[in-house]
Structure 1
Amino acid sequence: MTVLLVFIGGAIGTLLRFAVNSVVEPVSALWIVNVVGSFLMGLFQRYFMVRDERNWQLFLTTGMLGAFTTFSAFSAQWLMLVKSHFWLSMSFAFGMTLSCIIAAGIGFVIYRRKGVSVK
């Protein structure tokens, strides 16, 4: 059952990523999916610290968000930049990483502010 949940979540995440890539140019799409995905991951991680719902956690975080945001796409974009713009590639890597960490932190804190305590 858990494999099926991850599979279905992954299929949904892949389709969502494809939808974003279809309407936004590639570099912007990468930023959007990674920052939005990181925000949602922070929110869901906090939620699942409070509620023991393993199936939903696998579906949403491992499946859907795992497929929606991919480190390999980030790495591929970075490698393309390294070849022609070294300093821009370094800024890209640092900026993306920092933005995603901040977005995850914001998601985590927003849920905490709802007055829900962790077990």
Structure 2
Amino acid sequence: MMQTVSFVALGGALGATLRYLAGLGLLRLLGHTSFPVAILIVNILGSLLMGVFVVVAAHKGLTHLSPLVMTGMLGGFTTFSTFSLEAVNLIERGDLGQAALYVLLSVVVSILALALGMILTRGVLA
């Protein structure tokens, strides 16, 4: 158990560092933009890498590396990759209604929750 937790922690540190460096690199490359291009690119890249790893791990017997790569590294790089994987799993199982509900609730309710957190905190700190 501790070894698995250590792998998640190591992967998370690597993923978060890569996200930070990718954001800096994209900022230098593209300059400041009003649209969050760097985060969008990181989310898309993380989702692509999650898809690649899921298939490679299944075919090559590397699923034991999932805590390090999927939960840790890609989770630290972008949690959007995990969200995308769960949505695709629902779609592949034929649960299209649940997939649509999951995507809608995840995006809309998460945005609303973030806004609520900001509003409540601003009220407390004001």
Would you say same fold, with TM above 0.5?
A: yes
Q: Distance in 2 between matches of 1:54 and 1:43?
A: 12
* Partner residue of 1:24 out of 17, 23, 26: 26
% identical equivalent positions: 39
1:9 is paired with a residue whose SS is helix
5+ residue gaps, structure 2: 28-34, 81-106, 116-126
Number of aligned residue pairs: give it.
76
2:36 is paired with a residue whose SS is helix
* Partner residue of 1:62 out of 71, 93, 100: 71
Question: Match of 1:45, as an amino acid?
Answer: V
Q: CA deviation at 1:62?
A: 0.7
Question: Match of 1:16, as an amino acid?
Answer: L
Deviates more, 1:50-59 or 1:26-35: 50-59
Contact 1:2–1:55 under 8 Å retained in 2: no
In structure 2, the partner of 1:36 is: 45
TM-score, length basis structure 2 = 0.52
Over the aligned positions, Cα root-mean-square deviation in angstroms equals 2.3
TM-score, length basis structure 1 = 0.55
Q: CA deviation at 1:70?
A: 3.0
Q: Distance in 1 between matches of 2:79 and 2:36?
A: 13
Greater relative contact order (CA < 8 Å, ≥ 6 in sequence): 1
Task: Tell which structure's C-alpha radius of gyration is larger.
Answer: 2
Contact 1:5–1:55 under 8 Å retained in 2: no
Q: Distance in 2 between matches of 1:21 and 1:14?
A: 11
In structure 1, the partner of 2:17 is: 15
